[in-house]
């Protein structure tokens, strides 16, 4: 049976779940919540797949988070993780490439800023090319870097418009930036902060086309109200759905149905399960 809701971005392989990982997963699944466990480097991606293999309606992505790019990286064109990620990407329960992207908020203090930025761009491009090669969508992280990220995606879109697809997770941009992502065929997803009554986020949710949004927890981070300050988990994705229903003036059931349909279309239906 298809899940009622999909948490399209969580990190259940993280150490915060070491004591009760199975209980957390079963709590979500028993309440009709499927999930995508997102890799942040090679080891994390392997663990995400291992979890996906154990449970129905649990899937994985494989990728290299911009915070992880210094691990084993030498020249920008020779990232050793990409071939290893390519091998993992062929797994039948891998539904996307990422978490990949750009993050200019926290620079690597071991490099000057421009060196770090150039490295992030290079490895993001390599993961876009991997996604195109294996025909799977991107799970994108972007923080304080939307101008550069949009420029990169636009270049690839001009060459591969019918094949390039994906989602901007934990969307932190402006409405104008959101529109540009929509024009490139991408969706955006919202996490716990949408429940904090932040005006800018509420405005974007209210204006975004309903077929272009999804929901996530980014567990263990950014728990929604009324659990703010606690460890987050996929079960709490219901609170995000409730808040979006309120903003969109739709029923909770309608938001569950629509966002799950969006998740299935972009991620789950693209793999042979």
- pLDDT for position 112: 55
Superfamily for the 5-270 domain: Metal-dependent hydrolases (3.20.20.140)
Spatial distance between the Cα atoms of 59 and 50, rounded to a whole number of angstroms? 10
User: Quick one: pLDDT at residue 272?
Assistant: 45
pLDDT of 270 reads: 56
pLDDT at site 78: 54
- Taking 3-state DSSP, the helix, strand and coil percentages for the chain, each rounded to the nearest 5, stand at 50, 15, 35
Other residues' Cβ atoms within 10 Å of the Cβ of residue 135: 11
3-class SS of residue 26: helix
DSSP collapsed to 3 states, 29-77: HHCCEEEEEECCCHHHHHHHHHHHHHCCCEEEEECCCHHHCCCCCCCHH
The ranges of the chain with pLDDT < 50 are 71-72, 74-75, 108-111, 272-273
Task: Give the pLDDT of residue 235.
Answer: 98
Q: What is the pLDDT of residue 273?
A: 41
> What pLDDT sits at residue 93?
97
Domain extents in the chain: 5-270
């Amino acid at each position: 049976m298809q899940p009622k809701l999909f948490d399209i971005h969580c990190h259940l392989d993280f150490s915060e779940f070491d004591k009760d990982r199975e209980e957390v997963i079963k709590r979500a699944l028993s309440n009709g919540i499927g999930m995508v466990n997102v890799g942040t480097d090679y080891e994390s991606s392997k663990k995400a797949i291992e979890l996906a293999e154990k449970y129905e309606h649990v899937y994985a992505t494989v990728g290299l988070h911009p915070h992880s790019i210094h691990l084993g990286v030498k020249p920008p064109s020779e990232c050793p993780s990409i071939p290893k990620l390519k091998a993992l990407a062929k797994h039948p329960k891998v539904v996307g490439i990422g978490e990949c992207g750009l993050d200019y908020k926290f620079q690597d203090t071991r490099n000057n800023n421009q060196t770090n930025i150039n490295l992030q761009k290079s490895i993001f491009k390599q993961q876009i090319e991997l996604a195109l090669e294996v025909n799977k969508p991107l799970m994108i992280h972007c923080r304080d870097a939307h101008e550069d990220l949009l420029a990169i995606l636009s270049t690839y879109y001009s060459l591969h418009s019918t094949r390039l697809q994906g989602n901007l997770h934990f969307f932190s941009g402006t409405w104008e930036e959101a529109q540009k992502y929509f024009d490139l065929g991408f969706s955006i997803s919202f996490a716990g902060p949408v429940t904090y009554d932040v005006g800018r986020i509420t405005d974007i949710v209210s204006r975004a086309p309903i077929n272009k949004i999804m929901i996530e927890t980014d567990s263990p981070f950014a728990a929604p109200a009324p659990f703010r300050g606690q460890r987050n988990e996929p079960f709490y994705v219901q609170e995000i759905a409730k808040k979006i229903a309120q903003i969109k003036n739709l029923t909770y059931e309608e938001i569950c149905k629509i966002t799950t349909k969006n998740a299935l279309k972009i991620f789950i239906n693209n793999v042979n399960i």
